Structures are given as structure tokens and as C-alpha cells.
Structure 1
Amino acid sequence: MIDASDAIVIGAGQSGLAAAHALRQAGRFPVVLEAGQEPVGSWPSYYDSLTLFSPARYSSLPGMPFPGDPDRYPRRDEVVDYLRRYAKNLDADIRTGHRVSSIRRRDGRFTVQLEDGTELTTPVVIAASGAFGQPYRPQLPGLDTFTGTVLHSAEYREPSAFGGQRVVVVGAANTAVQVGYELAKVATVTLATRTPIKYAPQRPLGRDVHFWSIALGFDHLPIGHLLKNPPHTPVNDDGRYQRAVKAGKPDRRPMFTSVDGDAVTWPDGSREHVDTILLATGYRPALSYLDPAERGHRKGISTVHPGLGFVGLEWQRSFASATLRGVGRDARYVVRRLLRQR
């Protein structure tokens, strides 16, 4: 048994690094446990062309501005490099290759057990393990019998392997539209959605939408915990995605009604061969080390265990809670509340 004394943060992606920074600012010395081999979270595993929808000036963690032109939209690999530098400059005990298997609480302290059997104890735990490790795969009629290829957007990297294919992308949010747009350059692609795609102009009145979100106070409103069924997230668009969908590259159709063999059936009754179904259907929190009954929270503060907090959950406190620009604000709030419980 090893005493970690101050706090343990689970996950060293953007949320875990922000939580560690908040703990250091509060005078605590956290141990950060990261299952991967470096403290960059899931970013290296995202698709190659991923570009942030927020400019660099709105894509920073606390204490370290994103470098370069503040008005540009950083790409995936720039974010990875930024997180590496952030972790290097963070005065915290970051331990990579340490996967947490379970957490138990007894006599006011948590015992955090790793997969290799090592146990650490601490009075404070912050779960910041993100969601990439748990892609959401909806139960679509007949999908389990599909004889073509089914993959989640977490498994997608770049379009060359799909050349000439008939591809259906399931989803209506940013990832679905961005991936569908990219694939449509080499394949015949349909976006299958339950509701029409909603678009949000990227630069209304010549300023990025994030400028207006912050200026009007929407970005900071702590109302995420009130939204049990979050509204459909609009697709941030500079115009190219909406134009492409209107031109049918990709096209958009209501969700197919069934899958049979290598074909899907559309609501109008037509049946069509499909090579690949790509699920851009999001993720669920990767909290396997907690029993389902222990995952309840309000604004990131556990409703079950004093001393347990969460950072990086979608709609945890605000619209930005699961983003680079939002995790720092939530981390400060969670750390402040948890330390008051001590």
C-alpha cells in the first residue's frame, strides 16, 4: 500500500492536466495516473484531418496559451504537441502506463487499485479519464447482421481505404459531417440522421462564434447539469459543409429503417447495397473503475462519495465542459469544492 497523500487524478489528457494544475494552484501535490504511454489523452488516436472548431486563442488550458497565430484553427497534431509541453511544464507526479481498475472508499479515504495490483490511498480522487475509450454504438435494427464493414469514428483515420465504396455515416454532429465531407471526395457517402442537420455559422459578423459565445456569457453559464437531454449540437460551419450536403457530396437522408446482409433499407422503402457503415455517434464516459451507482454527480461533485470529483464530462457544468477551453474552469470549481469537504 502506497500513500499518495494529497490527491489522485485519473487520466492525463486535457481534463486530467487541468485538474492537476488546479490542485497545484491550491497547494496540493497530485499523482496523475495515465493508462497510455504519454500524457496527451486520446488526441493522437483521432482522425488525421481533425481540426479544432475553436481558434487557438480559445483552445488553451490554464497557465499556458496555445502558441502561434491566435486566430487559426489548430489541427490534431498541434494539440498533441501542446499537451506534451503542458505536461512537461506541470509540476505534478504524472505516471504513464498506470491503468486504474477499481476505486474503494473506506474510513474517509480512497484506495485506488491499478491493473498490476498496486494500491494507492488518498482522500481526494478526480476522475478525468475522458470518453474516447468507450465509443457509443447504438442498437440499430439489423446492424449486428451487416456483412459489410462497421466501424466507429474512433477507428477512422483517413479516407484512402474507402475509395469507390458506398458509405453511410450515422450522425449529425461535427464529427459526422467533417468525416462525411472528407470521405465524399473518394466515395459515395450519405449522412444518415434522425433529425435534419443544424448548422452554426463559424464566423457571424466576421468574428468566430466562440467570441460571441464568451462575449454574451453563454460559454460560462453553469447550466449543463440541468440538461438531462442536451440539445442537438449544431455543426460549426464556414459554409463549405452546408454547400457540400446541398450538392449531395455527401447527401443527407433520414435514418435507415433496417439492415439486412450487405444492404440498408431507407424510410421510402428503397433498398441499397452498402460497403461501410461508420458510426459517428459519440462516446460515453470511460468510468469502468467505478460502479454505475457511484457515477452520480452534480456539477462534477460526486453525489455518492465525499472527496470524489469529475472533470471533462460533456455538459458537466456548461456547453464547454468537455473542451480544451472549458475543462480548466470546471477543474478549478471541482477542486475548490472538494477541498472544502476535507
Structure 2
Amino acid sequence: MSFTLPGNSPLAPIVLDAVVIGAGQAGLAAAYYLRKRGVAFRVLEGAATAGAAWAARYDSLRLFSPAWASGLPGRPWPGNSLRYPTRDETVAYLRDYAAHFNFSVDTGQRVTRLAPASGQPGYAVHTAAGRTYLARYVIIATGPYAQPRVPAWANQLPPAVAQRHSRDYQRPAQLPGTGPVAVVGSGNSALQIAADLAATGRPLFAAFDERTSAIPNNQLMWTGLTLTGFMKVPRHTAPGRWLHRQPEGVVSGDLHHLRRLGNVAFIGRATGVQSGGIIQGAKAPTPPLEAVVWATGYRPNYPWIELPILAPDGFPQHQRGLTAAPGVAFLGLPWLDTRSSALLNGAGADARRVVAALLAGQ
């Protein structure tokens, strides 16, 4: 591939074979396979370092998979492979991974526009820092959807009730007071955050859907998942379509721990708000609350993509990561191909397949 480099300005476009947007696990795995194929590329990261999205997560976060099942291609985790790494260990691993392979990661380059290149094949990637990158291939690896999603009735809570989405929660001291707090959500992050808050001794109300399945999380389970290939079943197969319809389970040990705490009450799935700062659960209401943490997931937010690869609802349109725009692909999305696609242990397989397909012109 070649582009004509216009002018000699210090801010003239940077011409490459490929651009990877995002320096999390998916973007770094893509970089690994682009490097192996001899492709000239750069990874664009809006923050100051690789792995920055992990650094913004809550302090008490631990991976839900052991280190041996969480590595990126070409570099296993250091240290005890049986441990469940912490947030800070994960950030350190990703930074070390990028440094070990000496990937070209351009930090401070938040992408503001992805559009067809003017007058030549390929695409122009523009950043808030004023840079433009021209490339034949673009891999969008900004991770699972990043726009917080909360119930429509959340705005009915009075202003005195502090509200924070799990994306912006890091530690209990961020929430005011010592009185009742609710965590709304039925996923693993909701359980970890609830336990974090409950450890302060304040009354904790878990708005958790009782229909959510709970599964063990131990070395035996991960060995079984690995040997059976359960986490690698492609979504486009009949078994994969069935698995995709099943709700995500939570770690049974975390759920049982939370149920044993004397200052925690489970109120069932949150259904609405009552006057006075009360959240109604399927089983019971909370008392008047001082704060709420919404661990209720995310929705897509791609206003910077000017290509016909988004559905009317904003979700990416792709086939196992590949889009209708030749040379453009997604990585790191939930169920991009398998249940593990958005996880550390799924990034490598998806990146290998997507990079090979892009370079083959598929």
C-alpha cells in the first residue's frame, strides 16, 4: 500500500498500512499479529499510557480468570499463574506487554473522526491532538461499549441522592455519608462493588436479579472451560447462537459472600423509584438512600465513525469483527465471535483471525 504524503508540514498526515484505535488488550493483541505480518502500523491511545481503561476501574477489581487463562499472545503473565490478578497487576501487564514488543503506541491521540480518505483509497483517522493518520486498514479496538447505561427512571431520584455509574466508581470514599447505599446490577462488577461498599459497614442494598445464575470460579472450572473449548464456541454456529441467548452468570463465591454479610439486603431486580429517594426492588424497597451505584452496563457511542458500519441503534454491524467497509474491523466487543471476545483470554484468537482476514482482503 502507498499513499501520497501531502506537503512537508510538521502536521502532515502520517501514512501507514494500518491504524489500531485503542491500546487495551484487543488493540495490543492486534498489534502483535500486525507485527508478525510485517505491517507498518501505529496504535492510537487517547490516554497517556497503554491499558488506561483498566487503570480507571475500581480499586478492588480482580480478574474473573486466573493468570494462566488471561494472557495475550506471545507473553504469559509473570508470577504465580494460579492467582486472579488485581486491577493494578492488569494495568502493569498491559504496559509491560506494549513495552516488551516495542509497539508504536501514540498516546494522547483521542480519535475524533474516522472517514474515507479524500482522493485516495483507505481511511483518514483524525485525533483531538490535531494529527491525521492515513491507512488502508483500521482496527477499532476501543473495547466493550463505554457509554454508561442507566434506567430511564434514574433521574427521578432527588438531587440529594448521589449517583455514580460503575465506570466512574473507584472506592467507597467517593460516595457521601455513611447511611444506606444501593448497588443496582446483576453482574460480577455489581457484586464486587457491593462487597467493597459493604466492607465499610454502611447499610448496603443489592438490587440484584434473583434469576441470575451463579457458577463456581476456580482452577478446575477454568481447566474444564479450556479443555472443552466452551469459551471459544463461535457465535455463528448453532451452539454459539444458543450460548449467546443465555444470560451471563456471576461468580457463586462472590454472591454467597455478599449474602452472608449482616449489613447487606437483597431487594431483587430494581423496577423503579418511590418518593423520598427510595428504589423499589422486585422483593422489597430500599429505605431513603444516600447514594446509588449503577452497575447496569453500557451502550455504544461511536459519533466519530463516518462509515456505513453502524446500525440505526448505534451498535456496530460486523461479521465476526469484519465490516462492510473494506479494511475496517472491530475487536474486543462482547460476543464479537465467542463468549470470550471481550475478555483478556479471548483477545488473541480474535485478533489473529481478524488481522489475517483483513490482509487477505476478506
Q: Same fold (TM over 0.5)?
A: yes
For the residues of structure 2 that align with 1:229 and 1:71, how far apart are their CA atoms? 28
Correspondence for 1:18:
29
- TM, length-normalised to structure 2: 0.85
Structure 1 partner of 2:131? 118
Segments of 5+ residues of structure 2 without an aligned counterpart are 1-11, 310-315
Aligned counterparts of 2:307 and 2:162: Cα–Cα separation in 1: 31
Q: Which position in structure 2 is the counterpart of 1:96?
A: 107
Whether 2:282 is the aligned partner of 1:282: answer: no
For residues 149-188 of structure 1, the aligned pairs below 5 Å read: 149-162=162-175, 164-186=178-200, 187-188=202-203
Q: Aligned pairs, how many? A: 337
With over 3 angstroms needed to count, the CA separation of the structure-2 counterparts of 1:199 and 1:8, relative to structure 1, is same
Equivalent position to 1:327, from 347, 352, 356: 347
Q: Residue 211 of structure 1 is aligned with which of 198, 223, 240?
A: 223
Query: Quick one: distance in 2 between partners of 1:109 and 1:242?
Result: 52
| Distance in 1 of aligned mates of 2:266 and 2:144 | 27
Deviation at 1:4, TM superposition (A): 2.4
Q: How far is the alpha carbon of 1:293 from its aligned partner? A: 4.6
Could you tell me which residue of structure 1 aligns to residue 150 of structure 2? Answer: 137
Residues 266-315 of structure 1, C-alpha deviations (whole Å, 9 max, x = no match) = 4567562011111011223453321485231111111x201000110011
What SS is found at the alignment partner of 2:231?
A: helix
Among 5, 24, 27, which residue is 2:38 paired with? 27
1:312 counterpart = 2:332: yes
Structure 1 residue 197 and structure 2 residue 209: aligned?
A: no
Q: Which moved more, 1:179-188 or 1:263-272?
A: 263-272
Partner of residue 234 from structure 1, selected from 243, 249, 254: 249
Q: 1:208-236: per-residue Cα shift (whole Å, max 9, x none)?
A: 42211111111111117847975321112
- Pairwise mapping of residues 54-133 of structure 1 onto structure 2 (< 5 A)? 54-106=65-117, 107-131=120-144, 133=146
Distance across 1 between alignment mates of 2:231 and 2:60: 26
CA distance in 1, matches of 2:129, 2:263: 49
Is the 8 Å Cα contact of residues 129 and 287 (structure 1) preserved in structure 2? Answer: no
Deviation, structure 1 residue 242 = 1.3
Please say if residues 23 and 141 of structure 2, whose CA atoms lie closer than 8 Å, have aligned partners that are also in contact: yes
**Once the 2 structures are TM-superposed, how far is the Cα of residue 25 of structure 1 from its aligned partner?**
1.3
Judge conservation of contact 1:227–1:315 (CA < 8 Å) in 2: no
State the SS of the aligned residue for 2:90.
helix
Q: Deviations over 1:136-168 (max 9, x none)?
A: 223236546453101001121122455622011
> Letter of the aligned partner of 2:216 in structure 1?
P
User: Does the C-alpha gap of structure 1 residues 188 and 157 become closer, same or farther in structure 2, counting only changes over 3 Å?
Assistant: same
The one-letter code sitting in structure 1 at the alignment partner of 2:265 is: D
Give yes or no for contact 1:146–1:259 (8 Å, CA) kept in 2.
no
1:222 is aligned to: 234
What per-residue deviation string (whole Å, max 9, x for no partner) do you get for residues 97-142 of structure 1? 0111111125531011112332221110000012474222232365
What residue number does 2:358 align with? Answer: 338
TM-score by length of 1: 0.90
8 Å Cα contact 1:309/1:334 also seen in 2: yes
Residues 267/219 of structure 1: CA separation in 2 closer, same or farther (3 Å cut): closer
Aligned-residue offset at 1:72:
0.8
Aligned to 1:6: 17
Q: 1:17 to 1:269 in 2, by over 3 A?
A: closer
Supply the distance in 2 between the matched residues of 1:275 and 1:3 (Cα, whole angstroms).
51
Give the residue type in structure 2 aligned to 1:298. Answer: Q
SS in 2 for 1:43: helix
Change (3 A) 1:223 1:249: farther
Work out the CA distance in 1 between the residues paired with 2:169 and 2:228: 36
Q: Counterpart in 1 of 2:313?
A: none
Aligned mates of 1:292, 1:281 — CA distance in 2: 29
Distance 1:226 1:122, change over 3 A: farther
Task: Identify the match of residue 321 of structure 2 among 279, 300, 317.
Answer: 300
- Rounded Cα–Cα distance in structure 1 between residues aligned with 2:339 and 2:42: 28
Tell me the amino acid that sits aligned with residue 173 of structure 1. Answer: G
Q: Distance in 2 between matches of 1:57 and 1:143?
A: 45
Change (3 A) 1:340 1:249: farther
User: Distance in 1 between the 2:146 and 2:69 partners?
Assistant: 26
Alpha-carbon displacement from aligned partner over 1:301-332 (angstroms, at most 9, x marks no partner): 11x20100011001111111111111111001
Give the Cα–Cα distance (whole angstroms) in 1 for the partners of residues 244 and 275 of structure 2.
31
Unaligned residue ranges in structure 1 (runs of 5+): none
| Correspondent of 1:52 among 45, 63, 78 | 63
Amino acid in the other structure paired with 1:307 = G
